[in-house]
């Protein structure tokens, strides 16, 4: 089992300035390397407290690379629907080179309606646009003089520079929320799987079915002994010495997390796009959930409780990587640092 830090800022200037936020999470990335974590991941969003402090994960990860020598860098993910693949191939390869081959590239399809509106992208084309963009980036990383003609972009005889250090290209992760089609496609293409939605304990069997869809598709299309599907999950973490103290600390952060994402996803309540089937029902359930119910999506508790949740996730989902979302609810540095330190104690109690 590998572990890392997951970041998705939920701050506003009145709560914490961008300068303070980035100072905090850059310090946290250094602490992550010190305690032996494997990854630092950052997500891309725009125009809203739900992630809007980080429109460019690659800029952030380049700063992490300059402060660390070992920890791997992960985008989680680049919103491929909003970018030209020439831009993505070149910029990711640049960070791969600057970090001496430490970049993992996670791609996300995007799902927030206000972002599609802002970029003038038809949300009903997101799946097709996303997939052809990801495939084209991989071709630009690994081939020369390629020509591509799609409804979304076209070019001829392109050879991307710089070339990535990692060959044939950096590891690719596909972010998936709830669409079976996304899980299956990631497996068919031989990509790693990054689950960006925290499953409540009672939903683990349902999520496991989706993971099994992914693993089956991977095995069918890429079943060579040297290839093994990698599954990661991103989970909010708040730790304290006791479960009671952890819950007391967590409640205001859980409430803030709820408020931010309810506001960001409200337009999905009336979603009619076939590319996002099931999202309106999921958002509706989130709107009706209490703070206590929403807290089940977090890992909250003492080192002993965290160790037990790790075992449950490993057993229930057979995950290979757990990424701790330490900034959920716009937490301050001391809370994030304490959670990470107590995770060290929890890890000593597990068999993974």
The CATH number of whichever domain residue 118 belongs to comes to 3.20.20.30
The confidence band for 313, taking pLDDT boundaries of 50, 70 and 90, is confident
Could you tell me the residue range of the domain that residue 148 belongs to?
72-320+332-348
* Assigned domain for 338 exists: yes
Distant-in-sequence, close-in-space partners of 176: CB < 8 Å, separation ≥ 6 = 182, 183, 186, 193, 194, 195, 196, 210, 214
Radius of gyration of the chain (CA): 19
One DSSP character per residue, 69-128 reads SS-EEEEEEEEGGGS-HHHHHHHHHHHHHHTTS-EEEEEE----HHHHHHHT--GGGHHH
* Assigned domain for 10 exists: no
* Assigned domain for 261 exists: yes
* Assigned domain for 58 exists: no
Distant-in-sequence, close-in-space partners of 199: CB < 8 Å, separation ≥ 6 = 206, 207, 233, 297, 317
Q: How many domains does the chain have?
A: 1
What confidence score (pLDDT) does residue 314 get? 86
Give the β-pairing of 39-42 and 72-79.
parallel
Give the least confident one: 164-168, 291-295, 304-308, 326-330: 291-295
Rounded mean pLDDT of 45-51? 95
Q: What is the pLDDT of residues 68-114, one digit of tens each?
A: 999 999 998 899 999 999 999 999 999 999 999 999 999 999 889 99
For residues 296 and 331, the model is more confident at 331
* Assigned domain for 79 exists: yes
Rounded mean pLDDT of 4-28? 96
* Assigned domain for 42 exists: no
Is the predicted pLDDT of residue 271 greater than 80, yes or no? Answer: no
Its pTM stands at 0.93
* Assigned domain for 64 exists: no
Give the least confident one: 248-262, 265-279, 290-304: 265-279
What confidence score (pLDDT) does residue 60 get? 98
* Assigned domain for 12 exists: no
């Amino acid at each position: 089992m590998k572990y890392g830090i997951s970041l998705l800022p939920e701050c506003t200037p009145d709560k914490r300035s961008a300068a303070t936020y980035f100072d905090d999470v850059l310090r946290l990335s250094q602490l992550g390397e010190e305690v032996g974590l494997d990854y630092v991941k950052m997500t891309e969003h725009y125009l809203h407290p739900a992630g809007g402090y980080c429109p460019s994960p690659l800029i952030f990860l380049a700063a992490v690379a300059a402060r660390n020598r070992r920890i791997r860098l992960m985008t989680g993910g680049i919103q491929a629907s909003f970018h030209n693949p020439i831009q993505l191939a070149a910029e990711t390869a640049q960070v791969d080179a600057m970090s001496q081959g430490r970049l993992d590239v996670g791609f996300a399809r995007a799902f927030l309606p206000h972002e599609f509106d802002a970029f003038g992208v038809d949300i009903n084309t997101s799946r097709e646009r996303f997939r052809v963009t990801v495939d084209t980036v991989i071709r630009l990383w690994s081939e020369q003089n390629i020509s591509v003609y799609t409804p979304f972009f076209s070019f001829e005889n392109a050879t991307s520079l710089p070339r990535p250090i990692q060959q044939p290209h950096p590891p690719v992760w596909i972010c998936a929320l709830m669409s079976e089609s996304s899980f299956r496609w990631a497996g068919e293409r031989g990509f790693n799987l990054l689950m960006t939605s925290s499953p409540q304990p009672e939903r683990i069997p349902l999520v496991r079915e989706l993971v099994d869809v992914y693993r089956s598709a991977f095995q069918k299309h890429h079943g060579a002994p040297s290839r093994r599907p990698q599954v990661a999950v991103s989970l909010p973490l708040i730790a304290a010495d006791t479960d009671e103290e952890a819950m007391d600390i967590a409640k205001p952060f859980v409430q803030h997390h709820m408020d931010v994402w309810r506001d960001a996803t409200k337009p999905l309540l009336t979603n009619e796009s076939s590319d996002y089937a099931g999202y309106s029902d999921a958002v509706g359930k989130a709107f009706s959930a209490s703070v206590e119910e929403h807290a089940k999506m977090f890992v909250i508790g003492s080192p002993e409780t965290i160790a037990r949740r790790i075992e449950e996730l490993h057993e229930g989902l057979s995950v290979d990587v757990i990424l701790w979302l330490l900034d959920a609810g716009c937490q301050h540095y001391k809370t994030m640092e304490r959670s990470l330190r107590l995770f060290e104690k929890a890890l000593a109690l597990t068999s993974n």
